[in-house]
Every structure is written in C-alpha cells, then in structure tokens.
Amino acid sequence: MSEPTALSAELTSQARELDKADELACLRTRFVLDDAVYLDGNSLGALPVAVPGRLADVLYREWGELRIRSWDESGWWTAPERIGDRIAPLVGAAPGQIVVGDSTSVNVFKAVVAAVRMADEDAAAGTSEREAGAGGGGVGRRDEILVDATTFPTDGYLAESAARMTGRTLRPVTPAEVPAALGDRTAAVLLNHVDYRTGRLHDLPGLTAAIHEAGAYAVWDLCHSAGALPVGLDAHGVDLAVGCTYKYLNGGPGSPAYLYVRRDLQPRFDSPLPGWTSHTAPFAMRPAYEPAPGAVRGRVGTPDILSMLALEAALDVWYGWVDGKESGDGKSPGPAQEAGAMIESVRAKSLALTDFFLRCVSAYVPEGRVECLTPTAHAERGSQVALRCDDAGDIMKRLIAQGVIGDFRHPDVLRFGFTPLYVSFTDVERAARVLAETLEGAG
C-alpha cells in the first residue's frame, strides 16, 4: 500500500478539503511542530510557541532582577487563582472556582476527602433529601466511596487512601454500574469524564444528577476531557473536579494540576492539606489555621511559579481568537465567552478528526486486524481513538519510527490522541495510512 491508490488519493484529497475548511487551522502555527504526525497530545501537549519567551522573561526579569518583589509586583502570589480563571471557561466554570497547583493525584485526595466531609456534615445536620425523608435526625454515616473501576490507577490509589483515612470503604464500579450502586451508604463518587485507555466519554450530566439524587457528592477527573470538549461543570452542578494541564491544555511536562470547588460548596471545603497559602491571612503567620474564602482554600504550599507561568502562557492560545479569526496578539486575556466559544469549535473539530480517522482506518486496514475500543457514538467519544491488536507494543514502536507518534498502553492498546488545536486532517489520513502499512508489514 506504499504506492498511492485511488482510495488514498481520494482520502488525501478529502483531507485537504477538510483542512481548508477548518476554522482552527490558523492555530497550528502557535505550536512548535515538525514533520511527524503528533497524536500523543493526550499524554503531553506540544510546546506552544509563546512559552519559551515568556519563561525567559520570568527567569531574567521577574526572578533575576525583581526577585522577591515579584511575589507582589509580577503577580506571582495570585497566579493559582488567576490561571484557574483562565481554565474556567474551557470547563464551563464561572470565575473564582478553580485554583491551579499540585498534581492531579494530590488534588484527587483533597477533593475526595473534602467530599466525604461534606457528606458527614450533611448526615450530622440531617440535611440531605433522602435523610430528611427518612425522618431527619439519627441518620447513619455514609460509609462508602464509589470509584470508577476503569480509572487511571492513581485516582483509585488516592481514593483508597482517602477512604482509609476517613474510615470509609472504597467500592470500585464501572461508570455504567454507578446508578445501581448508589444509595444511602454513598458519601462520594470519583469518576473520569473520559476513560484514559478506551477514550470513552462518560455521561457527566446524567451521572452527576444520579449521584445528587442519592444525596452523595460527585468528584470528576477531567484529565482527558478538559481542552478537548465542553465539560459544563457549572451547568451540570458538579461538586468537585480535578484535572491535569499537560494534555490538551499544553502546559508542559508535569505542569500543575487544578481543583474546582463549586462556589456554594467552598465555605464547606474542609481540606486535608491545609497549607499556609490557603490561610485567610497567610503572612500573619498565625498558629491556628483559618481557611481563606473562595477558591484559594484549595491551595496548599508555595505556588510553583516557573511551571505555573509556563502554563499561563500556554493558555494564551485559547484567547484572542473569535470565530475562526485571530483577533489579537494572543497575549491579552480575551473574554471568557471567547474561550467558551472556542471549546465548542474544538469539540466539533475533534469529532471530525476522529470520525475521519475511523473512516481512513476502516478504508486502509483489513477488517479484523484491529479492534476499535472507542465508541463510535459521538456522545460517548472523547478526543482519542484506541485500537486493540495483539502486537500493539511492537506496532507502536514501528509507527513512531515512521513519524506517527501515538502511545502504547499495556497490554494491547494503540492509543491515538487528537488535539484539534494542531492536528490536521492531512495528519490523520497519513497516520491511518502508515498504520495500515505497518500492520501489513507486521502481519
């Protein structure tokens, strides 16, 4: 299949047309890319062009010259909330509810423990609907945490620790089993919006509603959805959420994660990691902890400024863009509506990319050679395609050697992530074609 066939000529030409019509195509130049087809942005996003220059300024001027003064004068101190507000429109959150810092794992621990404590508070007050219905006072403690059994492992490990340290039982269930598993015993539920392995998109609105119906708290992990599709945290009444920023948000390797606490729950957010930067008066150095109001309460230690400001620069790509046209220099923070509108365009392109990839794979790859683990229904698909084949580890090595970068997930999964900000339809056709050639060569 290395000679162009009529089929590949047709798909190549379709790819060109799709690229021509792509209103996001202009954003590709905002990233450092090479001749490879980079389909691993769901593991590590590509380098945004704006980052190195911004970081040089942070190093030479803000740290090197202003030094300690930069905590105030360069806005270092308020970076966690400021950058949280830049992420907010991408996940459907109004300002003041997201704080950036720590790793996703640490934020999972904060969120799950805080959710359990909220459930405890409800039980003590007899306020949840079910408990009120059951007669008010004297209700039992909710002793169970449900966790997505198909989750990225770290969520399960941290949920287990949260359960152990709050005296709960952790019960792994698939997202589909959640509605049946919910009940008076459920304190909190930790779920992934998109499955890291299969790319399956779960029903955040429906599951959140079911969790609330049971009087429990919903904690969502947005690692594989934020920046790739609309989340609608506020609209769907999600209680707490966490996510990383190094995938579709392109913040850089291991860049700081974030924590969302819904505004009305913030006064009840009782952190298991009450560090000094979440204190209401951090520089008063008081011996007693008094949590700050608002999103700040989710902070722990001193913010990691270099990584945080690299992330802030990376987020510029979401601002200064309206309806397919670049409206500014990308540096001035545009209105939240703009970023909110852009995520809708990103979702549309994401689905078009994965649709086209599936079409090309089914055109090029012989029936039965790979099995698609990603749902074909749009409502159930994230921004990645996972293909199962027995020799996946070997195939992925060969693909990478030929400039098609995806990743391998043990034991038999080829994983391809599609970042609509910089992946083109031409990339997609090439990836499918090289995949078919590679499978044929290995077959």
**Active-site residue 247, yes or no?**
yes
Q: Taking the complex as a whole, how short is the minimal distance between the CB of residue 341 and a copy of itself, in angstroms?
A: 29
Smallest separation (angstroms) from a copy of itself to the CB of 304:
4
Shortest CB 287 distance to a copy of itself, Å: 6
Nearest to 15 by CA among 430, 438, 346, 434: 430
Catalytic residue among 247, 297, 299, 409: 247
Select which of 221, 239, 316, 407 is catalytic: 221
Q: For a copy of itself, which is the closer residue by CB, 82 or 359?
A: 82
- Is 415 annotated in the active site? yes
Distance CA 94, CA 107 (A): 20
Query: CB of 198: closest distance to a copy of itself in angstroms?
Result: 13
Among 31, 152, 196, 260, which one carries the catalytic annotation?
152
Residue 241 CB, nearest distance to a copy of itself (Å)?
16
Residue closest to 315 by CA, chosen among 248, 228, 242, 231: 248
Beta bridge partners of 388: 371, 413
Active site residue 117: no
For a copy of itself, which is the closer residue by CB, 12 or 302? Answer: 302
| Pick 1 or 47: Cβ nearer a copy of itself | 47
Q: How far is the CB of 275 from a copy of itself (least distance, A)?
A: 4
Residue 107 or residue 208: which is nearer to a copy of itself going by CB?
107
Comparing CB distances to a copy of itself, the nearer of 64 and 335 is 64
Residue 42 in contact with residue 249, Cβ under 8 Å?
no
At 52, list the tokens: 């190195």
Name every residue whose Cβ is closer than 8 Å to that of residue 164 and which is 6 or more positions away in sequence: none
User: Closest CB to a copy of itself among 99 and 158?
Assistant: 158
Query: Which residue pairs from 338-343 have beta carbons closer than 8 angstroms and sit at least 24 positions apart in sequence?
Result: 338/89, 339/86, 339/89, 339/90, 340/89, 340/90, 340/92, 342/318, 343/89, 343/90, 343/227, 343/229, 343/230, 343/318
User: One of 217, 246, 364, 422 is an active-site residue; which one?
Assistant: 246
Query: Which residues are known to be catalytic?
Result: 152, 221, 246-247, 415
